[in-house]
Structure 1
Amino acid sequence: MATTHFRNGTIWLGSDSATTDALLISDGVIVAVGSAEVDRCLAGTEVEHIDLDGGFLMPSFGDGHAHPVFGGLEAEGPQVRSCTSVSDIVAEVRRYAAAHPEDEWITGASYDGSLVEGGLFDARWLDEAVSDRPVVLRAWDYHTVWCNSRALELAGITAETPEPKLGEIPRKGDGTPLGTLREWGAVDLIDAVRPPLDESIRLRALERTATYYLERGVTWVQDAWVEPTDVDTYIAASTQGRLNLRFNLALYADPRRFDQQLPHLTEARRRVDGLADPMLSAQTVKFFADGVVENETGALLEPYCSSLHNHGLRVWEGSSLAEAVCAVDAAGFQVHIHAIGDAAVRQALDAIESAMVTNGPRDRRPVIAHAQLVDTTDLARFSTLGIIANMQPLWAQLDDLMTVLTIPRLGEDRAAKQYRMRSILDGDGRLAFGSDWPCTSGTPVEGLAIATSRQNDHGDPAGGWTPEEIVDIDHALDAYSTSVAHQAFSDQSPVPWGEIRLGASADLIRFDQDPRYLTPRELASTPVHTTYLGGSAVHTSH
């Protein structure tokens, strides 16, 4: 691999936001930082000079919470993501079904749940498109599906079907299922009768995911929901040389069968470790503490505005989450907990603290993902316990999702305490960013624009929504790069990545302009000029 000299631009080192003016890499590793050191190393060396032309070089982005297989699969099936009405979705399903008469099941993702009041979609609407074959569409939140009547029939979901554990079947007045299924317990009824996807489709999805991320400057992704079939897909991609991106797998812990799961989780880790593939690891276990606010399944300390008694869904009852977290922590896994509501965040904090007390000190780097609503009394615990708050900056805006579904459920006062990113930083906590793609965009610059402005695409509101939680651009860049690398234990790798320093892998991104001096709207649309993975240019926009 050639020796490469970057010059004539701003080189942002990460972590402490320092900059330098020159960088030298050799065999994919950073060997000199700063013009004086670079000049000394250049003597007698054959080198490729890259003129940044006044541009900006920084460590590559990481995505600390995403769903890569789901994201790659969105290109398969009816394309409903961009549909802006129920009639548009029905027309697209009809078009796809006519073009694919060979498909026994028609599956697609992901429709906008805010298009219908309460997010409740009727099976009869999809029946207008297809009635003789099952249709299953995932909502944007991936906690909800919308089915036609044939899919409900095949799954045996009727008026007599009891409410599943960890799920909900919304019903019509006569008790028959409406067509919307919420959370795992209900969705699993469909998955139990739906044939699995061919492995070739899943491998194609992973390759599509890598292209998507590399175009956006992302070189490491935390897959935050990994089932056994996903492990098989990743291992197949690795053995076939088809992993074009760094992935870490968070193996899903299911409260309904966790007492039998731990040996399988450790075996999955052993299989991945046995590959010795620097692009793949499986060091994490994923827990769901609750659902989502928009379904009223996010767990809240105080009830939803719609009901005096509805506090949402606790996925793990009583002390079971703490016990399971202690078990996987003792097995050496990193803990990654989905917690949306303030009650779920508190339960997650308590569970991690219990593991620390029970199992003793070690370098854990536990993660609480989303942390949409954190009670003020719990903010300081992120720093005290060394917990990484992995938040999704793109969500901290007054878009349709927030105004139509979220705020009416939380109320104005409670809604104004969402996504307390600046508060985490001010309390000396660690903030890392993720996208939750494909639930929302996986484009980091779009998230950076929201984090630094708290404004939507129209620039509203003036001054930003909850402006006290705005994050400055240097901290935002750090949250999408060096802090994600910290979450990933990059510094413990033989060749670390995520920072520009001697001995680190040259995982870098180049912009034509310095993002620190762009307006939020300019930042959101600025393209990545080049993405480097291990010193190789794996994407260029020119």
Structure 2
Amino acid sequence: MSGAGPTFFHGGVVRTGAGDTDRLLVVDGVVRPAPQTAPAGAEIVDLRGGYLGPAFADGHAHPLLAGMEAAGPTLRHLGSVAQIARAVERWADEHPDATWITGASYDATIAADGLFDARWLDHTARPVVLRAWDYHTVWCNSAALRLAGIDRHTPDPPLGHIVRRPDGEPLGTLREAAVSLVWNLVPQPGPEERAARLGEASRTLAAYGITWAQEAWAEPDDLDAWAHAAERDLLAIDVDLALRADPLRWPGHLEELVAGAARIEGLPGLTARTLKFFVDGIVENRTASLLDDYADTCTRGLPNWRDGDLAAALVDAQRAGFDIHLHAIGDAGVRTALDAVAHLRSVEQSRPARVTIAHAQLIHPDDLQRFAALDVTVCFQPLWAQYDAVMRDLTLPAVGVNRATQYRMASVLASGARLTFGSDWPVTSPDVLAGIATAVTRQTPDGMPEGGWSPEERLTITDALDAASRAATAQGRRGTPDAALAPGAAADLVWLSDDPRTTPPTQLRDIQVLGTWRRGRRIHASAEARSAKEQR
């Protein structure tokens, strides 16, 4: 993708690395010193009193999963089991040739403890498997369980859990690695359809002002779709793929991961420089790894890696040339990740890998200072830092009041560590401004609770803006964070209707993304911006 012709921005506030100005010049996809007036032949963009700043980056997202949600019944907005069952039935009637019915992002809070019964979907004779919004859990009907051979005699797979009825029969809810028992039977679309879905997902991200994203979970079977999308110029944004390291196959499949990364190397806008390590699961299904028992059950979760194995795996990953992305949610999971990074830093000083710990929902106070000391970036999902139905009904009952302080963004930043934002889309929305609003207020959209949830962990608007744009540099090796919109920097830009720094925090969600530029080429224009351009 080459840069577009010269573009001259004026008529608003332009945030650069050296402060604010009122104009910006882009030539060949690069920021140049701006003259007083537009050079001859330049496209002129009147910012109309708005804000132009560094584009946003999503440090942890799943565009392929998000794109594929459109292939089945839409579930996220539904508020009851009955509504979901009707949506599945309607979709089945409309698609009589589908051998399996799949859907995603049902709300786990609408059933007690997030447990869903296969019989609630048995009105459909065909096998049904639905993903929860957390993407660590599925809900199957009885036909799907039978086809997978899951019954009272089926043992839990390594690193997975089959939820059972009192008599030992499977309930219909599968967690973590047990998901694969059913999901691996589902026929998958070809790379052409998946590539088209990727194109749609990338345009959605561009519409939120995003020009770079970390695909935080890529399997070898996904690479053809990604390559197909890149080769056909379907991707609106740049993406780095984090290839999943399988603890049950390590280190035997490292060679396969190296070959997969080589398959991607050189494709336009696409890299595969990172390995993804799931250190643990999630709090809501009791698989996040905790230092002490969950409040409501005698378990400390389901760690995926033994401490020594993870440490050795990180060394292998760095020696193979990869950066490292670790999913760690529980306080024991975060500590395990930090201990493994400490080992890596102690034995490997040449070309140190960029290490990111994503989520970090629970951090023991003793570990707060370790992120900066070990040169670890922490990628938070700011939309999770609110007292919503998930937190109230699923999370806090599991962790208890003694672990109520979560997503310690301000504390991590104060420790000197780098902080980035990611959406975990489709788990939550890729709406960057909504995430910034949550990080600044620690409130739900309706302003609850008053003063914010764990208000001591609120960020300033400047720190939140920086976190929303820093992932491309801190995680993606795309220049230096201090070069934002300075002369010579890549022209990855977002045009907003208002300056977030002067907007009341309660109104941040109302700011509109009017345009997005990737290396100087416009990849998104709002309807309002297009209309204004046509009127000139």
TM-score, length-scaled by structure 2: 0.95
- Consecutive unaligned residues in structure 2, runs of 5 or more: 529-536
Q: Could you say what secondary structure the match of 1:311 adopts?
A: coil
Residue 89 (structure 1) aligned with residue 79 (structure 2):
no
**1:13, CA displacement in angstroms?**
2.0
- 1:12-161 counterparts in 2 under 5 A? 12-13=15-16, 18-33=19-34, 38-39=35-36, 45-128=40-123, 130=124, 132-161=125-154
Paired residue type of 2:36: D
Contact map agreement 1:432 1:479 (CA 8 A) in 2: yes
Whole-Å separation in 1 of the counterparts to 2:83 and 2:468: 35
Residue 531 (structure 1) aligned with residue 523 (structure 2):
no
**1:485, CA displacement in angstroms?**
2.5
User: What is the CA deviation profile of residues 330-374 of structure 1, one whole-angstrom value per residue up to 9, with x for unaligned ones?
Assistant: 112101000000000000001111111122243422000000001
Whole-Å separation in 2 of the counterparts to 1:216 and 1:521: 19
Residue 474 (structure 1) aligned with residue 462 (structure 2):
yes
Contact map agreement 1:4 1:24 (CA 8 A) in 2: yes
Q: Could you say what secondary structure the match of 1:531 adopts?
A: strand
Whole-Å separation in 2 of the counterparts to 1:465 and 1:90: 34
Residue 434 (structure 1) aligned with residue 422 (structure 2):
yes
Q: Could you say what secondary structure the match of 2:444 adopts?
A: coil
**1:2, CA displacement in angstroms?**
2.6
Residue 500 (structure 1) aligned with residue 485 (structure 2):
yes
Change in Cα spacing, 1:161 to 1:170, as seen in structure 2 (3 Å) is: same
- 1:396-415 counterparts in 2 under 5 A? 396-415=385-404
Whole-Å separation in 1 of the counterparts to 2:482 and 2:375: 21
Whole-Å separation in 2 of the counterparts to 1:539 and 1:456: 28
Paired residue type of 2:69: E
State the partner residue of 2:380.
Answer: 391
- 1:28-427 counterparts in 2 under 5 A? 28-33=29-34, 38-39=35-36, 45-128=40-123, 130=124, 132-184=125-177, 186-273=178-265, 276-307=266-297, 309-416=298-405, 418-427=406-415
Contact map agreement 1:485 1:498 (CA 8 A) in 2: no
Contact map agreement 1:394 1:447 (CA 8 A) in 2: yes
What RMSD in Å do the two structures reach over aligned CA positions? Answer: 1.6
Contact map agreement 2:345 2:352 (CA 8 A) in 1: no
Picking from 7, 10, 14, the partner of 1:7 is 10
Whole-Å separation in 2 of the counterparts to 1:265 and 1:142: 23
User: What is the CA deviation profile of residues 430-489 of structure 1, one whole-angstrom value per residue up to 9, with x for unaligned ones?
Assistant: 000000000011110010000000001110111111111000001100001034422111
**1:538, CA displacement in angstroms?**
1.5
- State the percentage of identical aligned residues: 46
**1:318, CA displacement in angstroms?**
3.9
- Consecutive unaligned residues in structure 1, runs of 5 or more: none
Contact map agreement 1:497 1:507 (CA 8 A) in 2: no
Contact map agreement 1:10 1:56 (CA 8 A) in 2: yes
Contact map agreement 1:224 1:286 (CA 8 A) in 2: yes
Q: Could you say what secondary structure the match of 1:491 adopts?
A: coil
Contact map agreement 1:430 1:483 (CA 8 A) in 2: no
Whole-Å separation in 2 of the counterparts to 1:519 and 1:396: 19
Count of equivalent residues = 524
TM-score, length-scaled by structure 1: 0.94
Picking from 443, 448, 460, the partner of 1:460 is 448
